[in-house]
Copies of this chain bind each other. A is one copy, B any other.
């Protein structure tokens, strides 16, 4: 009999974005004349950088000729891309990462979801609250949690981000094995300092734990004192895997390219205490279940490391940061507490009421869509996330509308 993986039955329905879509669609049906402005989902809206477009076209021309055609490439990505990543994203910041330690993939969501496969099913995981749901759901599927009760899964250690700790979770009070961290944070938009990140690396080293560091939003960091990569922290190479993405960096959400860094010195343990290279394990997983990123897409990604590409990428993200600045400024004027939006495209706003009530208020009175914080976890209750991914003109309009209804 073909029996199913019953861990899937523990999963809560992916309520958040479908519920948002339902409410927006009901509102729009009832109010066809209102032009709804979406500051909800974290998806980019601006064209790909010109350098990427040019490289993309040129790679497709190669695919059109028998002598320049490319079939299967290396599953880990072409050397031309891995070398540029290692040089520009790490070595230039004194983070000693080599091209062999870069695994190019089709998305940070895929990688952060798949990475847990190389670990034992009985490790203890620690995830932030509020959090990007993929970290939790993929561990539920793998059987690392108990059932869902009172808004949380049993057996997970939740790392709470709240006003009290400035939305940077405290170190766990108990030993944990696998720790998910994300900075600049989704959904709160907060960043972490080098000295604070160092305490996490030290915790991991002391507890033989591993940090999964999601740096998908690093391109929005403008404060030079902040770490862009966890590998800027001494001692991290043995205890951290980092996820990066071209999605937010260069507008690749619909083009699909990302990468994961697994240092050669990163280790895991077997039940006899024997040490094993996580680089080898991930390499085995990656080459067995993945077949490489589309060649033209890799060429498009490579283009962001050219001199022209770098400027275009900076301009692209400056555009979104200008939006974020406007949102912060207006929310501030209205007297609402908030974090994020400085080195991040997300602004986390304390709404002084239930998340979904505030969502409905903004939708029905202002025609603006946000994301209710409660959808990201228990600690998100009472907050909403505003996203800077839209046109500046739309953000201006949205903030004027919000200003009108919230002005006290």
List the interface of chain A (C-beta within 8 A of B).
Answer: 1-6, 8-9, 11, 14, 41, 43-48, 50, 53, 56-57, 60-61, 63-66, 69-73, 106-107, 109-110, 113-114, 117-123, 134, 137-138, 141, 177-178, 207-210, 251, 253-256, 268-271, 276, 278, 281, 284-285, 287-297, 391
- A5 to B: closest C-beta gap in Å: 5
Closest to A8 in B: B281
Contact pick for A69, options B48, B141, B290, CB 8 Å: B48
Is A120 within 8 A of B5, CB to CB?
Answer: yes
Is A64 within 8 A of B50, CB to CB?
Answer: yes
Contact pick for A256, options B41, B284, B292, CB 8 Å: B292
A4-B119 CB under 8 A given contacts A50-B64, A71-B45, A291-B110: yes
Can you list 11 A-B pairs, Cβ within 8 angstroms, ordered by A?
A: A1-B269, A2-B268, A3-B122, A4-B268, A4-B276, A53-B61, A107-B291, A114-B289, A255-B296, A256-B292, A256-B294
Contact pick for A284, options B8, B107, B251, CB 8 Å: B8
Query: A109 — which chain B residues lie within 8 A by C-beta?
Result: 289-291
Instruction: Give A61 to B293 CA distance when docked, in angstroms.
Output: 20
Is B63 within 8 A of A3, CB to CB?
Answer: no
Instruction: Give A137 to B117 CA distance when docked, in angstroms.
Output: 13
A295-B119 CB under 8 A given contacts A43-B71, A138-B289, A270-B6: no
Is A210 within 8 A of B2, CB to CB?
Answer: yes
Contact pick for A118, options B8, B118, B296, CB 8 Å: B8
Is A270 within 8 A of B56, CB to CB?
Answer: no
Is B64 within 8 A of A53, CB to CB?
Answer: yes
Contact pick for A9, options B41, B177, B178, B270, CB 8 Å: B270
Is A2 within 8 A of B64, CB to CB?
Answer: no
- A286 to B: closest C-beta gap in Å: 11
Instruction: Give A56 to B255 CA distance when docked, in angstroms.
Output: 12
Query: A106 — which chain B residues lie within 8 A by C-beta?
Result: 106, 256, 291, 294
Contact pick for A5, options B69, B117, B177, CB 8 Å: B117
Query: A70 — which chain B residues lie within 8 A by C-beta?
Result: 254
Instruction: Give A302 to B290 CA distance when docked, in angstroms.
Output: 22
- A289 to B: closest C-beta gap in Å: 4
Instruction: Give A182 to B8 CA distance when docked, in angstroms.
Output: 28
- A260 to B: closest C-beta gap in Å: 14
Instruction: Give A141 to B282 CA distance when docked, in angstroms.
Output: 12
Is A289 within 8 A of B113, CB to CB?
Answer: yes
Query: A292 — which chain B residues lie within 8 A by C-beta?
Result: 254, 256
Closest to A178 in B: B2
Query: A44 — which chain B residues lie within 8 A by C-beta?
Result: 71
A47-B71 CB under 8 A given contacts A3-B270, A255-B295: no
Instruction: Give A110 to B111 CA distance when docked, in angstroms.
Output: 13
A270-B4 CB under 8 A given contacts A69-B45, A297-B294: yes
A47-B60 CB under 8 A given contacts A255-B295, A291-B256: no
Contact pick for A53, options B2, B60, B141, CB 8 Å: B60
Closest to A75 in B: B109
Instruction: Give A56 to B119 CA distance when docked, in angstroms.
Output: 39
Instruction: Give A400 to B44 CA distance when docked, in angstroms.
Output: 56
Closest to A207 in B: B1
* Most chain B beta carbons < 10 A, residue from A2, A122, A207, A391: A2
